[in-house]
Structure 1
Amino acid sequence: MPRFYRRLGLSITTLACLALAIIVSADAKGPLDVEAALAERIVGDPAAPVTIIEYASFTCPLCAAFHTGPDYDGLKKRFIETGQVKLVFRDFPLDNVSLHASMVARCAGTEGYFTRVGELFATQKQWATADDPTADLAEITGLDDAMLTECLSSTELSDGLFRLRAQGATDGVLFTPTYIVNGTMYPGSHSVEEFSEIIEPLVADK
C-alpha cells in the first residue's frame, strides 16, 4: 500500500468503499431521465381485460376526493388487485401549480408513484394554496433542492405533460376527472358502485 495512504490509516477495503460511495452518490444525483419520467403510469396487471384511463389534475378537488376516499380503495381491492382492471393515470394539468405537481411526482421515479399520487391528493389543500407550493411538493415527494430545480426547469418534461393533456383533449376530455373504460368515456366523478356496473359486464364478456 502506498505510504501516503498508510499515513492516513486507510486500508484498501476502506478506499474501495469510499470509491463505491462516490459512484453511488453521483448516480443518485444523475441527470433527469425525461423518457422514464414520462412513461405510462399503470397500477394493476398489464394484461387485465379492462383498462381504465384516468385523466386527472392534482389541483382538482373531485380527483382528490376519489383518490383519498373509499372509491379508489374499493376499485383497487375489488377489481385491480384481482387482475380484472388496470388503471392508467394520465396528467391533465389545469394550471401551473398542478403542472408542477405532475412534474415533481414523475421526477421522483416510478417506484411508489401511486403512493405519492395519494399523498399529493391527501395534502392538496395544504400545498395547492401555499405561497410556495414547490417547497411542500418537494417535501412530499422527497426531491432534494438540486433535483427539484432540474425537474421544474425541464421544458422537455413540461412539454411532454402538455402532450398528454393534448392527447386527452383529442380523446374528448374537457375537464377532470374523466375516465375512459375500454374506449368509452365517462366524465365526472364515479363511485366504486358505478364503476362496478361498468366493469362487470366487460369482464363477463371476456
Structure 2
Amino acid sequence: MRFLKLLLALLLGLTAGTAMAQAKRDWRAVVTPTSTGTWVIGNPAAKVKLVEYLSYTCPHCADFVAESKPVLMDEFVRSGTVSLEVRHAVRDGLDLAAAMYARCAGPRNFAAVHGLVFANQKALLDKAVSIAPPPGGDRDAALRTIADGSGLTTLVRARLPKAPAACLTDAATRDQLIAGTRAAFDKIAGTPSFELDGELIQGTDWARLEPRLRAAGAR
C-alpha cells in the first residue's frame, strides 16, 4: 500500500510538472506553416484564433503591429491562449520580396523576419521609392533590384537558410503568394483586416480588437 501511495504521488507530481511546463511555454517561438501557405504564430490549438491580412508596405499594418505587440504577442500569444495566422495581401514589389523572404526563413525565423520588416518599414520605403526597375521586364531581376536597393536583403540576410537570390526566385512560393493575395482581396477591402474565430470583423485598430479578444478568452 505504501508503494502504491508513493507511485501515485510520483505520477501526480509528473502530471503537475507537465502542466506547469506547458503553462510557462513561450508560444511566440512556435511557428507553423499551413497547407495553404499561411503561417500561424503561437499555439496551433489556441482557444482564440486571430487571422490578420497584412501587407509589409502598409503603414497602418506597421502601426497595428507596434501598438498591439505588448499585449497581443507578449501576453496573449505567449500564453498560448491566442494564435495569430498571418495571411499576406501583397500590394507591390517590395511587399512581395519581403513576404518571400519571410517564408524562405522557415518556421525558425519567420517571426523574426516578419518583425524586422515592420520595425524598419519606413526606412525601406524611403529607399524603395527612388529605385528604377531594371530594363527588360525580368520579374526576378526586378525583385532582386528592389530588395537589394531598399536595404531589405541586408536586413534579413542573416535569418535566411539559403542565398537571398534563391529565396526570390522560388516560383512556387511566388505563385502561392499571388494566389493568396487574390483570395484575400476577394474577402477584404484593405489591410490590415482581421478574422476572429472564423468571422471577418469590423474595425482595424487595436483599441477595438483587444476587448473582443479578451471576451473570446484571450489571457
TM-score normalised to structure 1 length: 0.71
Aligned equivalents of 2:176 and 2:156: distance in 1?
20
Q: Residues 34 and 40 of structure 2 are in contact (CA less than 8 Å); yes or no, is this contact kept in structure 1?
A: no
* Residue of structure 1 aligned with 2:163, choices 143, 147, 158: 147
CA deviation after TM superposition for structure 1 residue 92, in Å: 0.6
- Give the equivalent residue in structure 2 for 1:76: 73
Aligned equivalents of 1:74 and 1:36: distance in 2?
25
CA deviation after TM superposition for structure 1 residue 38, in Å: 7.2
- Give the equivalent residue in structure 1 for 2:88: 91
CA deviation after TM superposition for structure 1 residue 185, in Å: 1.4
Is 1:195 the counterpart of 2:209 in the alignment?
Answer: yes
Helix, strand or coil for the counterpart of 1:81?
helix
CA deviation after TM superposition for structure 1 residue 188, in Å: 5.0
Q: Residues 37 and 157 of structure 1 are in contact (CA less than 8 Å); yes or no, is this contact kept in structure 2?
A: no
Instruction: Give 5+ residue unaligned stretches, structure 2.
Output: 1-32, 132-144
CA deviation after TM superposition for structure 1 residue 162, in Å: 1.1
- Give the equivalent residue in structure 1 for 2:8: none
1:171-191 deviations in Å (ceiling 9; x for gaps)? x11210001111221355321
Helix, strand or coil for the counterpart of 2:91?
coil
Q: Residues 64 and 121 of structure 1 are in contact (CA less than 8 Å); yes or no, is this contact kept in structure 2?
A: yes
Cα 1:197/1:51, change in 2 over 3 Å: same
1:16-68 deviations in Å (ceiling 9; x for gaps)? xxxxxxxxxxxxxxxxxxx999743111111111111101000000111122x
Aligned equivalents of 2:44 and 2:34: distance in 1?
18
- Give the equivalent residue in structure 2 for 1:138: 153
Task: Report % sequence identity.
Answer: 27
* Residue of structure 2 aligned with 1:54, choices 52, 55, 70: 52
Helix, strand or coil for the counterpart of 2:101?
helix
Helix, strand or coil for the counterpart of 1:141?
helix
Matched pairs, number: 166
- Give the equivalent residue in structure 1 for 2:180: 164
Cα 1:38/1:57, change in 2 over 3 Å: same
List 4+ stretches of structure 1 deviating above 6 A: 35-38
* Residue of structure 2 aligned with 1:185, choices 174, 193, 200: 200
Q: Residues 177 and 187 of structure 1 are in contact (CA less than 8 Å); yes or no, is this contact kept in structure 2?
A: no
1:107-141 deviations in Å (ceiling 9; x for gaps)? 12221211211110111111223235412121111
Q: Residues 89 and 185 of structure 2 are in contact (CA less than 8 Å); yes or no, is this contact kept in structure 1?
A: no
- Give the equivalent residue in structure 2 for 1:28: none
Aligned equivalents of 1:36 and 1:77: distance in 2?
23
- Give the equivalent residue in structure 1 for 2:103: 106
Q: Residues 45 and 85 of structure 1 are in contact (CA less than 8 Å); yes or no, is this contact kept in structure 2?
A: yes
* Residue of structure 1 aligned with 2:40, choices 30, 39, 42: 42
Q: Residues 54 and 88 of structure 1 are in contact (CA less than 8 Å); yes or no, is this contact kept in structure 2?
A: yes
TM-score normalised to structure 2 length: 0.67
Cα 1:37/1:183, change in 2 over 3 Å: closer
